[in-house]
Chain A
Amino acid sequence: MWTWFHKFASPPHAYRLLGRLAPWLGWPALGLILLATWWGLVKAPADYQQGDAFRILYVHAPSAWMSMFIYVVMAVAAAVGLIWRIKLAHAAAAASAPIGASFTFLALATGSIWGKPMWGTWWVWDARLTSELILLFLYLGYMALRSSFDDPQRADRASAVLAIVGVINVPIIHYSVEWWTTLHQPASVTKIDKPSIHIEMLIPLFIMIVGFQLYYGWALSRRLRGEILQRERNATWLTKTA
């Protein structure tokens, strides 16, 4: 098992495997995202309270979910890299950060657009949006720290420490922000983003989440191949492949 894992984690093997895997993730991702979009925008019934405006939920909620999920994946990969000294895990953490940051940005943008018809302003200090904003700061800090090291191996380990400290903090941040908004906002405003979920609404939501997951897998495998090329540019297996 252990030897198998090290074989899998060896750069040439991983590079070829990821190349073969990518299309099996990319096309289903595209299909599911299109299906969920159609289902959400056309087929699902309009919300009795919010009308058609709620349909942005089908992008907002899955991307918010993905932004948290990818941060956890990143921290776990970083910890694996730090503890077992597996370079591929560090590379996966590094490759995940920009994808996670993009989902966070998407969640913020869609949340803000959703806010306009709901609350009449582009920005509301609502718990979920504030948490997403802080999460975006965490992603940006992680990427800034990585880019300020010249030596990729030091960048790997320093950013891994940061990702682990960050992931311990994420629940604390989330909880503190929730606590903060309940104290400051009248309850009537926060009620709106919890519409009575109809089963018809739930199905496209789940399809979208699965689609986003597959998209993440596809984007990660592409970026990871790039990372491997960058890191192994002097290795003999690469010159042979080329």
Chain B
Amino acid sequence: MTGRASVGAAAGLVFRRDLTLAWRRWDEVAQPLIFYVVVTTLFPLATTPDLNQLRTISGGVVWVAALLASLLALEALFRSDVEDGTMEQWVMTGQPLGWLLLAKVASHWVLTGLPLVVMSPIVGTALGLPFAAWGTLMLSLLLGTATLSVLGGIGAALTVGVRRGSVLLSLLVLPLAMPLLIFGSRAVGLVMDGESPSGPLQLLAAIFFLSLSLGPVAMSAAIRISVES
């Protein structure tokens, strides 16, 4: 043995471990993405197939669907690690727990958030979203899903040890995520009206950095409570 592992090496291991595990269970990883596509299909069926009408709500629909799909995936974020005792070992590695959890959230985002972002232009086009809005939609979702992963990580850490955890997680996280929805879908709306979306995008970026700086603290506090039982 060559001595203590650095924080960066430990976080890297957590990140790689989760990608390895996901690779062996890729069918579970694909579920939120399928859910995302299914939900966006509901809106034309419930309203109208007319693309001109759908276009006006396309940004919002894509955003709502992405929000719900991310939340669905977040529910299981910490569950298996808490149940098999891995999490209590993470608490006691002597490494800062917040960094390990952030690495875990990051790998989770790569597996669920990023595919949603990549898929969004296709889903948007089916709802009449113009090509000109693709970039803004993807950029807003990039920031939005990343922030949501951190917010949802806090919620998942709080609810991992309780009954009825999945509904509760949505109840806790959705109100906190509403500013993301407002700024994100508004950015798409602005660009479709031919205006600059930079204002709401900057606000999204600001919220992202805020959550990045405070999220690990809240997540590690929540996880310490959850491994107590």
A145/B176 contact (C-beta < 8 A), A140-B171, A165-B218, A180-B182 known = no
Contact A164 B178 (CB under 8 A): no
A162 touches B172 (CB 8 A): yes
> Which residues of A from 156 to 182 have beta carbons under 8 Å from B?
157-158, 161-162, 164-166, 168-169, 172-173, 175-177, 179-180
Contact A158 B176 (CB under 8 A): no
Which chain B residues border A7 with CB–CB below 8 Å? none
Do B225 and A176 touch across chains, with their CB atoms under 8 A apart?
no
**A172 lies within 8 A of B179 (CB):** yes
- Cβ–Cβ contact A161 & B159, under 8 A: no
Q: Is A69 an interface residue (CB 8 A)?
A: no
- Chain A residues with Cβ under 8 A from B207's Cβ? 172
Say yes or no: is B37 at the interface (Cβ < 8 Å to chain A). no
Query: A197 at interface (Cβ–Cβ under 8 A)?
Result: no
Q: Which residues of A contact B191 (CB under 8 A)?
A: none
Classify the secondary structure of A's interface with B.
Answer: helix
Q: How many A-B residue pairs have CB under 8 A?
A: 77
> Looking across the interface, which residue of chain B has its beta carbon closest to that of A148?
B162
Q: How many residues of chain B get a CB closer than 8 Å to chain A's CBs?
A: 31
The interface residues of chain B, by DSSP majority, are classed as helix
Query: Is the Cβ of A166 less than 8 Å from the Cβ of B222?
Result: no
A176-B182, A177-B182 are contacts. A148–B163 as well, Cβ < 8 Å? yes
Does A144 interact with chain B (Cβ within 8 Å)? yes
Q: Contact between A180 and B175 (Cβ–Cβ < 8 Å)? A: no
- Chain A residue at smallest Cβ distance from B162: A148
Query: Which chain B residues in 145-168 approach chain A with CB under 8 Å?
Result: 151, 154, 158-159, 161-165, 168
User: Of all chain A residues, which has the CB nearest B185?
Assistant: A180
B130 CB, min distance to chain A CBs, angstroms = 20
Q: Are B214 and A149 in contact (CB under 8 A)?
A: no
Establish whether residues A154 and B225, one from each chain, have CB atoms under 8 Å apart when the complex forms: yes
Determine the chain B residues whose CB is within 8 A of the CB of A165 once the complex forms: 151, 154, 176, 214, 218
Q: Given A148-B162, A158-B225, are A137 and B182 also a contact pair (CB < 8 Å)?
A: no
A134 to B151, CA, bound (A): 16
Across the interface, do A154 and B228 meet the contact criterion of CB distance under 8 Å? yes
Judge whether B68 is part of the interface by a CB distance below 8 angstroms.
Answer: no
Nearest B residue to A174 by beta-carbon distance?
A: B179
Across the interface, do B179 and A161 meet the contact criterion of CB distance under 8 Å? no
